[in-house]
Structure 1
Amino acid sequence: MFKKLLLAAALTCGAAHAATNPLFAPLYTADPAVLVDGGRVYLFTGRDEAQPGGKDFVMHEWRVFSSCDMVTWQDHGVPLNVKTFAWAKARAWASDIVKRDGKYWFYSTVEHATVPGFAVGVAVSDSPTGPFKDARGSALITNDMTTQTDIAWDDIDPGVFLDDDGQAYLYWGNTVLKYAKLKANMTELDGPIQVLPVKDFVEAPYLHKRKVGGKAMYYLSYSEFFPEQTAYLTGPSPTGPWTPRGVIMAKNLKTPTIHQAIFDFNGKSYIAYHNAELPGGGEYRRSVAIEEFEYREDGTMPFIPQTKTGPRANPSAACKR
């Protein structure tokens, strides 16, 4: 009975979680996406609902948590689920989010109800904690729009990036890495879908940017091989040319997947990812974690070990409000 009460409390919007890796016990969470806004980190996850011994991903919703100090996390509940997209039938898989013009744009992987295969949808909200609504009323990307492979899941794991010049980009894919520009309305592609040939790419493309020696450096991280490890490239623009930089996180022991989001908060750098280290965890019962790291002087990233302790406290001014 105590375990049932504990789970009910954790599922309640507003519950607080103290940070030790993995986060958000007893929930099983996966595929982290991160937005830093107003002195807070907003961490979006899928929720693994598979039973012990399950043989497939059971995922119906996305959850959002926030922190002003990287240690105490507030559970804001479920800002959207598969039913947010009337044209989708299942699979609340990996997502990403960006803020533009005061609105929050959420790009997500779902299974399409009428077009065979997986698709990418776009939802929008006036708040990072939702509620979100379908921004198009239809999928942004469907499986029939890409023909590089014949698998049904090659249009997954959207990663959205908004550059300083106002141009937005979307990266996605499985086995083939694809990208396209987005129009300023964030709901339409602005030009053709391009393919980025990355050796051993599997999934989870993610782009971030920082200044190195006074110049912009773009970092394109992704999962390679299977079981997956996290590798990255660097380049002078969102479209390259790209230089391979190696592995930054090793494969997991209990699940073959790993999915990263890399971000800065309050003067420090972090990577969010998932493993399966909660009790009862496994391939379909994963758990999000976060590590702090420091870039090298030349801007390259170090290898980042997974820890049980997670980040140190890093309170922003928002903690005082």
Structure 2
Amino acid sequence: NGKYYMYFPLKDQNDIFRIGVAISDKPEGPFIPEEHPMKGSYSMDPAIWHDEDGEYYMYFGGLWGGQLQRYRNNKALECAVLPEGDEQALCAKIARLSKDMLSFDEEPKDVVILDENGKPLTAGDTERRFFEASWMHRHNGKYYFSYSTGDTHRICYAIGDNPYGPFTYQGVILTPVVGWTTHHSIVEFKGKWYLFHHDSVPSGGKTWLRSMKVVELEYNPDGTIKTIEGTASK
């Protein structure tokens, strides 16, 4: 509709994460925020996907400080509960957006990541399970859900046949970098694919002082992504 929408995490008066939306006539802003957070929103790290069917979807969620462990079935718990060991890992969330882009058009659903045996990843599988920083892109008809593993400092990905999944785990896109998080995005430009991410090399490892990095992302003939070595291994 000629408008630009920016989605962002915010904390309400009770220190609870919600997701807000601000609107502008130009990509550089200024953006004017809506008066209230999106109804039914929680946690953090919103990422928007515009599918070929014309619909817009939001992926969101993050563990620990992202507060995802405070919810089950989109309802707040009295006490946070983090699964452990062989229990199923907490999932990122997906919800189709309303036509005006200001609200969810459905209840958020789990973004389930399966292992090589078709079983959901477990909470103890910290090298592969979702932690935060959802992203979606499409390549050769397949949907690539990528994310950070948080405390194990990887960007991993899983492939599915539609925006909702389920998605089957495929591997590591980026090995650990210098710094804590590895939030990212993946875009195509002039026929090539690029991974944008950040690290803390210029600040000497100060995790709150991050720099933007970009590197070309390459696919193998079978559609899997070639692993990129992060700065922590250099």
Given the two structures, how large is their TM-score scaled by the length of structure 1? 0.56
From 143, 151, 154, the equivalent of 1:218 is 143
Does structure 1 residue 110 correspond to structure 2 residue 10?
yes
**Cα root mean square deviation, aligned:** 1.8
Residues 15-35 of structure 1 show CA distances to partners (whole Å, capped at 9, x for unaligned) of xxxxxxxxxxxxxxxxxxxxx
Q: What is the Cα deviation at residue 111 of structure 1?
A: 1.8
| 1:9 matched residue in structure 2 | none
Does structure 1 residue 229 correspond to structure 2 residue 154?
yes
Given the two structures, how large is their TM-score scaled by the length of structure 2? 0.75
Does structure 1 residue 303 correspond to structure 2 residue 218?
no
CA pair 276-141 structure 1, distance change in 2 beyond 3 A: farther
**Preserved contact between residue 10 and residue 20 of structure 2 (Cα < 8 Å):** yes
| 2:164 matched residue in structure 1 | 239
* Identical columns (%): 34
- 1:280 and 1:133 mapped to 2: Cα distance? 36
AA aligned to 2:168 is T
CA pair 105-129 structure 1, distance change in 2 beyond 3 A: same
User: Runs ≥4 in structure 1, deviation > 6 angstroms?
Assistant: none
Does structure 1 residue 186 correspond to structure 2 residue 186?
no
Higher Cα Rg: structure 1 or 2? 1
CA pair 286-141 structure 1, distance change in 2 beyond 3 A: farther
**Preserved contact between residue 177 and residue 230 of structure 2 (Cα < 8 Å):** no
Unaligned runs of 5+ in 2: 64-89, 114-120, 122-128
> Secondary structure of the residue that 1:226 maps to in structure 2?
helix
Unaligned runs of 5+ in 1: 1-100, 147-154, 308-321
**Preserved contact between residue 181 and residue 190 of structure 1 (Cα < 8 Å):** yes
Residues 42-79 of structure 1 show CA distances to partners (whole Å, capped at 9, x for unaligned) of xxxxxxxxxxxxxxxxxxxxxxxxxxxxxxxxxxxxxx
AA aligned to 2:136 is L
| 2:130 matched residue in structure 1 | 201
- Equivalent pairs counted in the alignment come to 190
> Secondary structure of the residue that 1:257 maps to in structure 2?
coil
> Secondary structure of the residue that 1:170 maps to in structure 2?
strand
Q: Higher relative CO (CA 8 A, sep ≥ 6), structure 1 or 2?
A: 1
